[in-house]
Structure 1
Amino acid sequence: MIKIIASDMDGTLLNEKMMISQKNIDAINHATANGIDFLIASGRQLDEAKPFLMNKIHPGYITLNGAEVYSKDEKLVSSNPVSKTSALKVAEYMDEHDLYYELITDKGVFSNSLEKRTVSIAQLLNVLNPTTTYEKALADTKAVLKHAKTIYVDDYDEILNDSETKVMKLLVFDNRQDEIFEPLKASLGVIDDIVITSSSPNNLEINSIDAQKGSALMEYAKQKGVNPEEVMAIGDNMNDYSMIKAAGIGVAMKNAVPEITALADEHTDTNVNDGVAKIIEKVIQNNKTVGNRE
C-alpha cells in the first residue's frame, strides 16, 4: 500500500503551459482525502514552487533537489547548503568560461541578467515541451517572471562571500548542452562534497552531496514511520534519479529521459496528458484493493 507520493514539477506535474492541470489537482486532492501524503519534489525553491499550486493543493515540499524540506505547514524540516569553498570553486569555473548561472540561496534567487534569465527559462520550457514554439515559450516565460521574486545584482561576489548567506544550489543554463556540460562535469566532478544533476538537457544543477531528492524523501518517510516500499516517486529527468531509485515504486513519465525510463518500476503518460493524475488514480484503486483484502 502506498502511503507517500512524491512528484517532480517541470516535465512531470507541470504541463506545456507551465501549469498544473485541473485533472492533476483533482487527483492529488483525491489522494490526500484517501490518506496518502503528497509531496512536491522540485529543483525549485519554496517561493518559486508555491505559486504554481494556486492554493488548490497543500503538500509538503522537497525543494532545491533536497537542499530544503518543508512540512505541509511550510516549516523548514532540514537544510543542506553547498559549502562556501565549493560554491566559490563552482562560481569561479562559471565566470572563467563566461557561463550564465544563478544562485539559489536562503535569502532568495539571485540573477545577474534579466535578459539571460528570460531566454534561459524560455529555452528550458521549449526543450521540455517540443510542441510549444519558442515564441510561445518566451511569452509564457515573461508572464511567469512578472511574479517571480528574483533579486537582480551586477555580480555574485558579495553573496558568495557573505557568511550569513547560504548557497543552496547553483543553476547553470546553456543551450549548447553537452558541448559545455561535459567538460564542466569533468572539471567540477572532482569536488567531493557536491552533486551535479539536471532537470532538462539545457541546464545543470549543483547541490551539496547531502542534498538529493532520494535521501530527502527517505528521511521524510522515516520520520513519518513509512517504509520505503510504501513510497512512490514520479519524475522525468536526472535530478529525479535518486528518488525514483530509492522509492518502493519509481514512476517515469512517458516524456522522461531514457535513463529514468529504464530505471523506473512503472510508467505513466506525459506531462501534457496528465500522467501524474493517471498514476495517482491507479494507486488509489490499488490501495483500496489491498485494504479490502486486509
Structure 2
Amino acid sequence: MNEHDLFHRFIFEEHEIRGELVRLEQSFIDAFAQSDYPEAVQTLLGEALAASVLLSGTLKFDGILSLQARGNGPVTLLMAECTHYRKVRAIAQYQNIPETVSSIQEQLGQGQLVITIDPEKGQRYQGIIPMEKPDLSSCLEDYFTQSEQLETTILLFCDETGAAGMLLQKLPGYREDDETWNRLETLARSITFEELRSLPAEQILHRLFHEEDVRLFPGEAVSFECSCSKARCTAAIEALGSDDAYTLVAEQGTITIDCQFCAETYTFKKEELDTIFHTPPLH
C-alpha cells in the first residue's frame, strides 16, 4: 500500500470523539496531471480534494461525495469528489486570477458551496455550506456545527507536491464537558503539514495524543480514478436526442466528447449513432 496516499479513521476510547487523517501525493499528482493551475487555484482545489476524502468517511454505503462551488469570482467552478472506495478526482475553472488571494470569497466571489452525497442506491442529498469564513476548512466547520449539530475541527493543507488533512468531531449525543473537547482540539491544531504528510499515522497520533487511549483503524488506499466512460458518453448522446445528434455528425463528421478530469476523448461516428438510436442502415 502506498504510504503517501492513505486515509485513516481513529477514535478516542475514553471520549465521545472520532477523527480522520488523509494524505494525498500520487493521487494528487494524477488528479492534476492534465491541468496547469495557478498556485492559488491549486491550493484551494487541493484542500477541497483532501476535504472530500475526509467527508467521505461518513458514507455508510456505496456512492460519491462531492464538494462543488460555482461563483462569479476568478474561480468560476470548483469540484472535488471521493467515492466510498476512496477514488478521487477534481477540477477547477478560472479566469483572471490575481497575484495574491487571501480568502475563499476573493476566489469564488458571490457563489454557493455545496456538499452532494450521491448513493448508488437511494436518494441524493445536498447540503449548502455558508461561505462566511475566510477559508474552506472554517466554512466546513461551520456547516457541521450549524447544520449537523456536530462540533468539528477540520485542518487542510496543500502545496505543489500534495495535500493532507485532519478531522476531529464530536460523536452524536456527546455528553462530556467542553474542557475535554477544547484540549483535544488544541492538540490537533498543533499538527503541521510536514508532519501530516511524512509521519506514519501511528506516530502522528502518539505525538498529538500520547496521554490518550486512541484506537487507529487500518489505512485505506486513496487513488485517482475518473468515472468517465464510453457508456456515460453514450447516455449523454441519448439525452441529447437523435435529431440534434445526427445534425452534429452531419456538420462535424463526428461527435467528440472530451473529459475535463482525465483528458480522455470519446468519438462517435454516424454508424454508432445508428446503433444508439436503433436507426436501420440505408441501402
TM-score, scaled relative to structure 1: 0.30
Which one has a bigger Cα radius of gyration?
2
Question: Hey, which of these two has a bigger chunk of strand by percent?
Answer: 2
TM-score, scaled relative to structure 2: 0.30
